[in-house]
Amino acid sequence: DVKVTQSSRYLVKRTGEKVFLECVQDMDHENMFWYRQDPGLGLRLIYFSYDVKMKEKGDIPEGYSVSREKKERFSLILESASTNQTSMYLCASSFRPGGEKLFFGSGTQLSVL
Amino acid sequence: GESVGLHLPTLSVQEGDNSIINCAYSNSASDYFIWYKQESGKGPQFIIDIRSNMDKRQGQRVTVLLNKTVKHLSLQIAATQPGDSAVYFCAENWGNTPLVFGKGTRLSVIA
């Protein structure tokens, strides 16, 4: 069974902390994505990567960075967490660029206090 | 990002009835459309997709209709079941740009 695994289901952090959200896929996909999901706003793209060492900003990259050292792993970093970054974070991967038939992880619900 | 919107944020249907979930898009360059289902506590799961050179595509109990003239996408679910209760998202893209998602519609099935 193909899988996108996010390291934490729930995470509670304090304002100003550096936060790492890890994502691993076992499908040998080139393309990986980080979305943020908030009630009433749908899924919004934070960053994406179409190749190892490559990263592109999405629609809402401010306050975030990413790391893609290995093909299967795509990490989202909150340099200095703020309360407005409390959200559900979804990682996804796809075989094709652009994200056709994205496979999603189960999400990480992050609370910043 | 581009606007991918929904006509109805919530939809309640009787078990056994057909459901229709609508989605409007604004980018006439979009050439790929997809529907996802998200159950509580899970990530979105692929349901069905369609390319702009088609106007209808059918899957198991689901049909996607694309009307490019009015930039409208719909998902039809036949004989809706309790297990269909979820939030449904439409998304679009063009070329290799990342998918742009709509805000979602919550479908509630009444037994």
pLDDT at B2 over 60: no
Distance (Å) from the alpha carbon of A15 to chain B's nearest alpha carbon: 25
Arithmetic mean of pLDDT, B71-92: 96
pLDDT for residue A65: 98
Q: What are phi and psi of A101, to 5 degrees?
A: 50, 55
Interchain proximity B1–A41, CB inside 8 Å? no
The answer to whether the beta carbons of residues A37 and A87 sit under 8 Å apart is yes
Interchain proximity B43–A58, CB inside 8 Å? no
The answer to whether the beta carbons of residues B19 and B84 sit under 8 Å apart is yes
- Average pLDDT over chain B reads 91
pLDDT at B33 over 80: yes
Q: What's the token pair of residue B61?
A: 């109990």
The answer to whether residue B60 neighbours chain A at the CB level (below 8 Å) is: no
pLDDT for residue B62: 98
Higher pLDDT, A39 or B106: B106
Q: Which of A4, A42, A106 sits opposite B104 (nearest CB)?
A: A42
Name residue B25's beta-bridge partners.
Answer: B4
Distance (Å) from the alpha carbon of A88 to chain B's nearest alpha carbon: 10
Chain B positions touching A104 (Cβ under 8 A) are: 36, 43-45
pLDDT for residue A24: 97
Name residue B66's beta-bridge partners.
Answer: B73
3-state DSSP call for residue A83? helix
Nearest CA in chain B to A46: B98
Please list the ranges in chain A whose pLDDT falls under 50.
none
Nearest in space to B51 (alpha carbons), one of A43, A79, A59, A96? A96
Interchain proximity A45–B100, CB inside 8 Å? yes
Chain A positions touching B49 (Cβ under 8 A) are: 100-101
pLDDT at B10 over 60: yes
pLDDT at B6 over 60: no
* Other residues' Cβ atoms within 10 Å of the Cβ of residue B105: 21
pLDDT for residue A40: 82
CA angle, B74 as apex, B99 and B60 as ends, to 5°?
95
Distance (Å) from the alpha carbon of B105 to chain A's nearest alpha carbon: 9
Interchain proximity B32–A100, CB inside 8 Å? yes
Nearest in space to A20 (alpha carbons), one of A102, A97, A108, A113? A108
pLDDT in tens, B40-78: 989 999 999 999 999 999 999 999 999 999 999 999 999
C-alpha dihedral (A108, A111, A112, B3), degrees to nearest 10: 70
The answer to whether residue B32 neighbours chain A at the CB level (below 8 Å) is: yes
pLDDT for residue B26: 82
HSE, CB side, 13 Å, CA atoms: give it for residue A60: 15
Q: What's the token pair of residue B76?
A: 């039809």
- Residue partners of A60: CB distance under 8 A and separation at least 6: A36, A44, A45, A46
Higher pLDDT, A107 or B26: A107
Chain B positions touching A97 (Cβ under 8 A) are: 96
Q: Which of B1, B46, B93 sits opposite A98 (nearest CB)?
A: B93
pLDDT for residue A78: 98
